[in-house]
Amino acid sequence: MDNSQLFFDFAPIWQARTLLLEGFGIAMFSAVAGIFFAILLGLIVALMRLSRYRALRAIAFTYTQLFRGVPLYVLVLWIYFGLVYAVGIDIPRIPSGIIALALLNSGYLSETFRSGILAVEKGQREAGEALGLRPWQVSRFIVLPQAGRIVVPPTGNQFVDAIKDSAILSIIGVPELMKVAQEQANMYYRPFEFYTVAGLLYLIAVIIVSKGISKLEQRLARFSRASKEASSGERRPSEVGG
Amino acid sequence: MSETLLQLRNVGKRFGDHVVLKDINLDIAKGEVVCVIGPSGSGKSTLLRCINFIAPPEEGEVIFEGRTWKRFHSAFNFIANRKYEAKLPTLRAEIGMVFQHFNVFPHMTAIENVVLGLTKVRGNTRNVAREIAERSLRQVGLGDKLDQYPEKLSGGQKQRVAIARALALNPKVMLFDEVTSALDPELVTGILDEMRRLASDGMTMVVVTHEMNFAFQVATRIVFMDAGRIVTIGTPEEIRNTTEPRARAFLSSILG
Amino acid sequence: MDGYQYNWNVVWQSLPELRQGLIITLQVSIMGMSLAIVFGLLCAIGRLSQYGYIRKFSVAVIDFSRSIPLFVLLFWVYYGLSLKFSINLTAFQAGAIALGITGGAYMAEVFRGGINAVDFGQREAALAIGLTQSKAFNLVVLPQAIRIIVPQAVNVYVGLLKGATIVSVIGVADMIYVAQYISLNSFTPFEMYSAVGVAFIALTVSIAGLAFLLEAKLNKGRSRG
């Protein structure tokens, strides 16, 4: 049957559905893993930036500037191609992509976490100290739980960006959704169809995650004064990278 | 006079070039209620924060129950800094503090606010802590608000949670930092009554306040501060009749 | 692979090409930003429309545009649309359009946020002294909104600049393209990508610095009553 006259030929999409969904799964996995490590790194860097020791603050500041300034595309190429040649570390495709996503997002998240921690009123820390809590207890039981609520919405937005950014990993051959779409588009010579479907899949993922975030935000806002200020949850427009 | 509980010796503090406290000497006996008055910016709140080292004094020392506390800071030896900081909680645990802006923990219910110190500082089990916390909140009239989040409480109720939180740890001295300044006028009396009750129970108290009536009625001694120094100390009677010009000027501007 | 000989000379030797690539990157991003401003303004005006369906449509367009990865948009425009509708787009044009769509969604939010951030009382006060609706907007609301919009627009631009790096994938000879091309021949990807990375960090940090100064300047003498 000749389908070349159809405006939107769904048949090749249907044939490639398992491949597309697998790609979608890998994309989501990369984004989740990337953001997971980004949160860990970002927290460490944020605490370093709030350290009383100048050297730690300087290192953390440089780190933040570095990974907020570098485009993901360059970072991915640098890790996957650059490091092999220069340092001899041969990191496979998917881990390379996850590392790049983690580093890039940790730069942004460290800033988010830092401002979240600073947004907790000074009096809260004082009150904890006055009770006789140890410094780590003040952080653990008083400051971090409140900061946590403040940073939920921006962290969620960062996750959304990581999902979108994961499409870039196709350039180093990570078999995620975009890579699959490219291959299939070339095979069937149906770029419009495949890229539309790929776009829709990303759209669905982003919408679901965004909805989840605002649900979470509402739940947290119910009993916390701290999260009120942040509940506007406005998206930082600087991450258009994906 | 009964035994001395707390002594400040030549305590001084500065923020950069700005001297906030200078040469503060003050002895406080067990059971005393010392009210600190003076114009705003005279260093009253900082004085309180020096006592429990929330804002550690750069000069001088604090002697509490015979133990001397001095600020320590090394620019390079961070292990020593840690050791010093690890000791401070033992001082603070014996000193209760109530703040102007309540500083209740918004992510915890009223009872959780009180339980925190009991479990983490005093090492009580959860059950014991809950019992003590409940009693403590009952005492300040919040028996029916145990599981409320602070957001749902009025300013006066928040301040009561803060008082219960401090008292539950059975402190040897209580510091009150302008605790009624942020309250709506109709709620002030209730909190002041709470403090009167504490004073008559024999609690040692250091109270920074603008409530002159309270100060002159309840205090055993009144400290008048100006520009980071203690200008004069005396019984309410002595302060009322003081000849010190700045204290006179301050009192006449307030009492009219 | 031990004993790798670092060859930073390659970077120095290829500076002219890299510079040429950088100019193309800047051109694509500036074209994209121009489209984003137009597109964003249209969407923002749509969102403020008095007709419900126009508002809903604008919201949908904004959400749609910013939920789809730039990378996907680029391929969709360059390979998908051009083939489907037989439009002959150059890679450069496709890149600018994709950047314009993504950036436009962000700009729409920036415009709206800026206008909303101006205290409602300001507009009321302007109307109260007898200004017309449009004069109240142009003379009172807009000048205040601009102070909020400009620094955020610079942030959007920085994002687009970084996003613009992907146009090399469809063959625009930008800085990455040059770096890839040269490192293929000289086997120096580490050096070339490091150089490109440093160039971008320097660029984005200095633009952010400029934005900061601009913000400080715009906020000077500003005290809200």
Per-residue pLDDT tens digits of chain C, which is 225 residues long: 455 677 788 888 888 888 999 999 999 999 999 999 999 999 998 988 889 999 999 999 999 998 999 999 999 999 988 888 888 889 999 999 999 999 999 999 999 989 888 887 888 888 888 888 888 888 888 888 888 898 889 989 999 999 999 999 898 888 888 888 888 888 888 888 999 999 999 998 889 888 888 878 877 655 443
Minimal Cα–Cα distance from A167 to chain C, Å? 6
Chain centroid, CA C144 distance in Å? 22
Query: Once rounded to an integer, what is the mean pLDDT over residues A74-101?
Result: 88
Per-residue confidence (pLDDT) for residue C77, from 0 to 100: 92
Ordered domains of chain B (ranges, CATH): 4-94+173-255 (3.40.50.300), 104-171 (no CATH)
Per-residue confidence (pLDDT) for residue C117, from 0 to 100: 86
ipTM above 0.90, yes or no: no
Per-residue confidence (pLDDT) for residue C1, from 0 to 100: 45
Read off the CATH number of the domain in which A199 is found: 1.10.3720.10
Residues B210/B34, Cβ–Cβ less than 8 Å:
no
Partner residue opposite C69 with nearest CB, options A74, A87, A164: A164
Within a domain: residue A81? yes
Check: CATH 1.10.3720.10 for C15-219?
yes
Per-residue confidence (pLDDT) for residue C105, from 0 to 100: 94
Within a domain: residue A240? no
Query: Once rounded to an integer, what is the mean pLDDT over residues A48-71?
Result: 92
Per-residue confidence (pLDDT) for residue A3, from 0 to 100: 56
Per-residue confidence (pLDDT) for residue A4, from 0 to 100: 59
Please report residues of C whose CB lies closer than 8 A to that of A74: 165, 176, 193, 196-197, 200
Domain that holds residue A117: 11-230
Q: Which residue of B has its CA nearest to A144?
A: B107
Cα(A180)–Cα(A19) distance, integer angstroms: 7
State the pairing for strand pair B204-208/B33-37. parallel
Q: Coil, strand or helix: which one is C223?
A: coil
Cα(C68)–Cα(C77) distance, integer angstroms: 12
Other chains touching B, judged by 3 or more CB pairs under 8 Å? A
DSSP state of C79: I
| DSSP string covering chain A | ---TT-SS--HHHHHTHHHHHHHHHHHHHHHHHHHHHHHHHHHHHHHHHT-S-HHHHHHHHHHHHHHHHS-HHHHHHIIIIIHHHHH-----HHHHHHHHHHHHHHHHHHHHHHHHHHHS-HHHHHHHHHHT--HHHIIIIIIHHHHHHHHHHHHHHHHHHHHHHGGGGGGGT--SHHHHHHHHHHHHT-HHHHHHHHHHHHHHHHHHHHHHHHHHHHHHHTT-SHHHHHTT-PPPTT----
Residues B26/B48, Cβ–Cβ less than 8 Å:
no
| pLDDT over 70, % of chain A | 89
- N-terminal to C-terminal alpha carbon distance within chain B: 33
Per-residue confidence (pLDDT) for residue B168, from 0 to 100: 95
Cα(B18)–Cα(B129) distance, integer angstroms: 43
Q: How many CB atoms are located within 10 Å of the residue A43 CB?
A: 19
Residues A69/C204, Cβ–Cβ less than 8 Å:
yes
Q: What are the tens digits of pLDDT across the range A119-163?
A: 999 999 999 999 999 989 999 999 999 999 899 989 999 999 999
Mutation site, C11, C72, C149, interface A, largest A CB count within 10 A: C72
Within a domain: residue A42? yes
Examine the pLDDT at A2 and tell me if it is beyond 80. no
Tell me if A131 and B93 make a contact (CB, 8 A cut-off): yes
Tell me if A85 and C1 make a contact (CB, 8 A cut-off): yes
Per-residue confidence (pLDDT) for residue C215, from 0 to 100: 79
Per-residue confidence (pLDDT) for residue B256, from 0 to 100: 65
Please report residues of B whose CB lies closer than 8 A to that of A120: none
Cα(B83)–Cα(B74) distance, integer angstroms: 11
Count of domains forming chain A = 1
pTM above 0.80, yes or no: yes
Q: Do chains B and C touch (3 or more CB pairs under 8 A)?
A: no
Tell me if A141 and B78 make a contact (CB, 8 A cut-off): no
Q: What are the tens digits of pLDDT across the range A194-242?
A: 999 999 999 999 999 999 998 888 887 765 544 333 333 333 334 444 3
Which parts of chain B sit beneath pLDDT 70? 1, 256
Environment class of B19 (CB within 10 Å of its CB; exposed 0-12, middle 13-18, buried 19+): middle
